[in-house]
Amino acid sequence: MKFRHVKTVASLLIGGGALALGLSFSPAARAQEEVRIGFLAPRTGIFTAIGVDMTNGFQMYLDEHKGMLGGAKVTFIVEDTQGKPDTAVAKAKKLILQDKVHMLVGGLLASTAYALAPVSTAEKTLYIGSSATADDIAQRQVDKYPYVALSTWVPSLPNHPLGQWACDQGYKKIAAVAADYAFGYEQLGGFQKGFEDCGGKIVQKIWTPLGTKDFGPYIPSIKTDADAIFTLMVGPMSLQFPKQLRAAGNKKPIVAGGTSYDEFVLPFMGDEVVGDVSALQYSAAIETPKNEAFVKRYRGKYDKVPSYYSEGNYSTAQLIDEALAKTGGKFPGPVEFIKNMASIKLDAVRGPVQLDLATKSPIQNIYIKKVEKKKMFGYPKEELWNTVIKTYPAVGTFYTYDKAKFLAQPVYSRDFPPCKFCE
């Protein structure tokens, strides 16, 4: 294991390692403002590669800013959650009680977000969920967790407009295959509401266990009279489902939650996914000078195209940077810091982002993306890219819905919305 020291950063992870190195500061150094950030990411287990993308995005921003955020030196301590909520809780308590961090950042999986939120409340410590997101933390439970903010999205957010888009394509009936956990419920729930509100019908829901590798037991049962398939996969599942679906002879159009085709998995996919559509707040193929420059810097540094996990954590570091600058690099406490974040109109790589103080979650562009094989940004080879085919601007947690009516319904779950058109 090799460690590279950025002048003012207390730890840096390289490759798939899971260790963080803390540095002690001299009295002279301590006289300067210091902000301690505890970063939670899976560094072992099936989500290791995602954890690397998360860490790389945040670390890249730190590297580009000489280990400083808002004028303060940063001690960056990374802990391995193993992709498990109980491990994330244990590591969060260690970071708070032992390492004395000012804030927690990161996490992965909705179940992790729901597990970390009570820790944040109990310890009165800021938690910025940069990859671990959960609908209800920004909705019915927003007041229950006053020290939690979500910097990238809530799971249902991209799929409300995706449901509308599917209607606009003329799809009438859609069968759904999704990962069987909180994130899958909220992703499918958002799509179902968006699709059925404009006259579409979800005619089937198939739930597959998180981490499923063999979809053979599920694919034959997909309804043949469906116009398209909605799918939500995450991690290695994303690679296997479309490959096995097409190998089984199913050629129906795919409309998917964004993690199914994010740049984390896209480079490992084949021509079987060309034409498949998904929705997310980021695509590496956004054709803006800011994103093109980011893609080139990230690819030059890490030899891969950035994923949403990379961009989301890079922009989270940017948001923290600008919020700290408002107080001269001093951390003002979690409540005031969230207010400072919400006052910023962030010019992020992915586009304009502003934290809605009422939900403590972003208002931002949602991109409908189609997988295409093409050359981009001057790279000489044809590659798979998530080409943006439609942009829904300024999408927030409640999309176009009346907030009071939306909150009166149950949280999206395995059973809600009910599958009223399923047989």
In a domain, 198, yes or no: yes
In a domain, 22, yes or no: no
If pLDDT is split at 50, 70 and 90, which confidence band does 10 have? Answer: very low
Per the structure, the complete domain to which residue 166 belongs is given by 159-286+365-408
- Does the structure show a pLDDT above 70 at 31? no
The pLDDT tens digits of the residues spanning 61-106 come to 999 999 999 999 999 999 999 999 999 999 999 999 999 999 999 9
Give yes or no: residues 209 and 240 share one domain.
Answer: yes
- Does the structure show a pLDDT above 50 at 141? yes
Give yes or no: residues 370 and 359 share one domain.
Answer: no
In a domain, 387, yes or no: yes
Q: Which of 414, 137, 163, 133 is nearest to 279 (CA)?
A: 163
Q: Which of 384, 375, 365 is nearest to 152 (CA)?
A: 365
Give yes or no: residues 261 and 375 share one domain.
Answer: yes
Q: Of 363, 380, 397, which residue sits at a domain end? A: 363
Give yes or no: residues 241 and 293 share one domain.
Answer: no
Query: For residue 393, is the peptide bond before it cis, meaning its omega torsion is within 30 degrees of 0?
Result: no
The pTM score is 0.91
Give the Cα separation of 314 and 348 in Å (integer): 9
Q: How far is CA 166 from CA 57, 138, 171, in A?
A: 32, 26, 6
Give yes or no: residues 273 and 400 share one domain.
Answer: yes
In a domain, 413, yes or no: no
The pLDDT tens digits of the residues spanning 378-390 come to 999 999 999 999 9
Phi, psi for residue 105 in degrees, rounded to 5: -135, 150
- Does the structure show a pLDDT above 90 at 24? no
Give yes or no: residues 327 and 377 share one domain.
Answer: no
Write down the pLDDT at residue 29: 35
Indicate the SS3 state at residue 113. helix
Give yes or no: residues 231 and 380 share one domain.
Answer: yes
Q: Are residues 170 and 149 in contact, defined by beta-carbon separation less than 8 angstroms? A: no
Average pLDDT, the chain: 92
Burial 6-22 (b: 16+ CB within 10 A, else e): bebbbbbbeeebbebee
In a domain, 18, yes or no: no
If pLDDT is split at 50, 70 and 90, which confidence band does 423 have? Answer: confident
If pLDDT is split at 50, 70 and 90, which confidence band does 132 have? Answer: confident
Count of other CB atoms within 10 angstroms of residue 29:
12
Write down the pLDDT at residue 28: 31
- Does the structure show a pLDDT above 50 at 168? yes
Give the pLDDT mean for 42-62: 96
Q: Are residues 407 and 140 in contact, defined by beta-carbon separation less than 8 angstroms? A: yes
Give the count of domains, the chain.
2
In a domain, 11, yes or no: no
The pLDDT tens digits of the residues spanning 340-370 come to 999 999 999 999 999 999 999 999 999 999 9
Write down the pLDDT at residue 236: 87
In a domain, 8, yes or no: no
- CA angle 151-154-155, nearest 5°? 140
Write down the pLDDT at residue 367: 98
If pLDDT is split at 50, 70 and 90, which confidence band does 151 have? Answer: very high
Give yes or no: residues 62 and 148 share one domain.
Answer: yes
In a domain, 69, yes or no: yes
18-22, 255-259, 271-275, 279-283, range with the lowest pLDDT? 18-22
Give yes or no: residues 255 and 325 share one domain.
Answer: no
Give yes or no: residues 200 and 231 share one domain.
Answer: yes
Give yes or no: residues 117 and 74 share one domain.
Answer: yes
CATH number at 250 reads 3.40.50.2300
Give yes or no: residues 89 and 187 share one domain.
Answer: no
Write down the pLDDT at residue 20: 36
Write down the pLDDT at residue 109: 87
Write down the pLDDT at residue 33: 82
The pLDDT tens digits of the residues spanning 212-222 come to 999 999 999 99
- Does the structure show a pLDDT above 70 at 208? yes
